[in-house]
Chains A and B, each alone.
Chain A
């Protein structure tokens, strides 16, 4: 029996996470203002949500271009100024829409996994 390739096995996880980057970033900025590296570290503390900088920073730049996040620069003791990101009102609106869609998809997948027999019993 052929063994599953671990690299391929993990590829779908990376693909799924990349599809969720925007949602993850907006959700992380919901509570507080964070700078890029801080945001990266915050996501790394949560199981399955770790991103790398090559994925995160271009998304942050695009979200700033789209006015979904606002940027403020502050001097850093370690080097160049830090760019602090915070959620804007349109960003909050986009996050609410994405979360609603995410919950809908989540519920649908749960129903799909449970199968017709369980679903019938649930009603």
Chain B
């Protein structure tokens, strides 16, 4: 159990802590921050008192308080605290999510091209009527399925990552870049889908 101070000594210490709290209030510190600062300060003063005397008196408290910062000193640090919203970084880095999103969508676009190449290759081998043509169909099918998988997964993952990256870049307040990559990834397939739906609707009306 920590030793308690005599009433006069306690009053002197409380007076100092109250003055420090008033300075912290004037500097705009929150209640939690004030409580934390006062706890740290009181702990420091009692440590100093314990080192000063085994049974501290009001005079000991006065002597110790003369060694610590005056309450007015607590009014200044808040002004030195950095602003809540930091200024945009002079050298923002690329959002890794945006780069991945772009890569996924690009990969799925490449897989469309490869899929076309494989399908046309399969059709051409049928056209020429060579003996190896029908035997190669399962291979073409397997390869095609691989590209279809890449197309769907890459497209879906890329679109989701694209929107995640866009939100990340917006909330980073200038610390991240790559908005164009993120928007491309986030909008590419939704735009194609929207066009496809529009064409389907128009053709139905005809």
Contact = CB atoms under 8 A, between A and B. Distances in A.
Interface of A: 18, 35-37, 40, 52-55, 57-62, 64-65, 71, 75-83
Kindly name the residue among B30, B40, B45, B74 whose own CB sees the greatest number of chain A CB atoms within 10 A: B40
B44 A36 contact: yes
B127 interface: no
Contacts of B34: 61
Nearest to A15: B80
A81 B39 contact: yes
A37 to B, nearest CB: 4
Interface stretch (B46-54, B103-111, B190-198): B46-54
Given A65-B32, A77-B50, 14 more contacts: A36-B43, A40-B44, A53-B44, A61-B36, A61-B40, A65-B30, A76-B2, A76-B46, A78-B50, A79-B43, A80-B43, A81-B39, A83-B36, A83-B43
A54 B46 contact: no
A59 B78 CA distance: 9
Contact of A57 (B32, B37, B46, B76): B37
A54 B29 contact: no
B181 to A, nearest CB: 24
B139 interface: no
A53 B70 CA distance: 10
Interface in B46-83: 46-50, 68-69, 73-74, 76-78, 80-81
Given A52-B69, A80-B2, A83-B40, A37 B74 contact: no
Given A61-B33, A79-B47, A36 B40 contact: yes
Contacts of A58: 24, 27, 29, 33, 37, 74, 77-78, 81
Residues of B contacting A: mostly: helix
A65 to B, nearest CB: 6
Given A79-B2, A79-B42, A52 B36 contact: no
Contacts of A36: 40-41, 43-44
A65 B48 CA distance: 27
- Shortest 9 CB-CB contacts between residues of A and residues of B: A79-B46, A36-B40, A54-B73, A54-B69, A37-B44, A61-B33, A78-B50, A61-B36, A57-B37
Nearest to A82: B43
Nearest to B78: A58
Given A65-B32, A76-B47, A78-B47, A37 B80 contact: no
Contacts of A57: 36-37, 40-41
Contacts of A35: 40, 43
Contacts of A64: 36
